[in-house]
């Protein structure tokens, strides 16, 4: 344990880098915000749980050295990039359909129907795990906080602390944007919010499909 704590000066910059990454708006954060506003706190937190699972998957993969595998089999990364881009475009299509619905926000009794727990978790997981940039973010964090020759326990500590922070941040977004004030804002600007989400997902999907990694 003492050996691991000796690497704290290197771990701290990695932790700061993770905080900057997790609070920056992206497909995952936008999905949490939109779901929390549309379907409420429970749905938002459920989606956040799936997103956390995707983040944890990439964190463990980065710590285990998946980068070497992806570099060896470039086609695997290319397929993941294509699948992720198409998935984001699918989310853009769903958000665009929501824009075309009636301007009045339905009541809880008449809709919109809240997706099931399983579908929300899988949606959140899919958003994050199909984004190849997430693996590169985690690789940068691991590389920044774990100098050459550091024991494996350092990587474990980085993943544990960052993932705990990420879990709190994801859940915090869900709670914040499901408040009565957030719902009031959503009711007054529903079409604009759904339109912005559709545009964002479309932009992110096209950018991912056309990017060189």
pLDDT band at 120 (very low <50, low <70, confident <90, very high): very high
The residue extents of the domains of the chain are 25-210
Long-range contacts of 193-198 (CB under 8 A, 24+ apart): 193/34, 193/37, 194/34, 194/95, 194/96, 194/98, 194/99, 195/95, 195/96, 195/99, 197/30, 197/34, 197/92, 197/95, 198/92, 198/93, 198/95, 198/96, 198/98, 198/99
> Which of 91-95, 136-140, 165-169, 194-198 holds the top average pLDDT?
165-169
The whole-model pTM stands at 0.71
pLDDT at 149 over 50: yes
Among the listed residues 59, 201, 82, 73, the one whose alpha carbon sits nearest the alpha carbon of residue 136: 59
pLDDT at 48 over 90: yes
pLDDT of residue 153: 81
Lowest-confidence range among 79-83, 131-135, 143-147?
Answer: 79-83
pLDDT at 121 over 90: yes
For residue 210 the two structure tokens come to: 């056309």
pLDDT band at 106 (very low <50, low <70, confident <90, very high): very low
Q: Which residues of 4-32 are buried (b: 16+ CB within 10 A; e: fewer)?
A: beebeeebeebbebbeebbeeebbbbbbb
pLDDT at 94 over 90: no
pLDDT of residue 108: 39
């Amino acid at each position: 344990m003492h050996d691991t704590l000796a690497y704290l000066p290197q771990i701290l910059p990695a932790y700061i880098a993770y905080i900057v990454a997790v609070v920056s708006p992206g497909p995952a954060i936008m999905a949490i915000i939109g779901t929390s506003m549309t379907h409420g706190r429970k749905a938002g937190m459920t989606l956040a749980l799936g997103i956390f699972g995707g983040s944890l998957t990439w964190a463990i993969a980065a710590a285990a050295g998946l980068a070497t595998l992806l570099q060896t089999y470039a086609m695997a990364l290319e397929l993941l990039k294509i699948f992720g881009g198409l998935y984001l475009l699918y989310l853009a299509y769903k958000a665009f359909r929501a824009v075309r619905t009636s301007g009045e926000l339905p009541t809880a009794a008449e809709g919109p129907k809240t997706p099931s727990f399983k579908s929300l978790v899988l949606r959140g997981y899919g958003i994050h795990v199909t984004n190849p940039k997430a693996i590169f973010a985690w690789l940068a964090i691991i590389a920044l906080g774990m100098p050459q020759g550091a024991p494996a326990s350092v990587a474990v500590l980085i993943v544990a602390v960052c993932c705990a922070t990420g879990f709190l941040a994801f859940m915090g977004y869900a709670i914040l944007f499901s408040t009565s004030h957030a719902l009031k804002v959503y009711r007054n600007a529903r079409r604009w919010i759904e339109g912005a989400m559709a545009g964002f997902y479309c932009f992110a999907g096209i950018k991912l499909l056309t990017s060189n990694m």
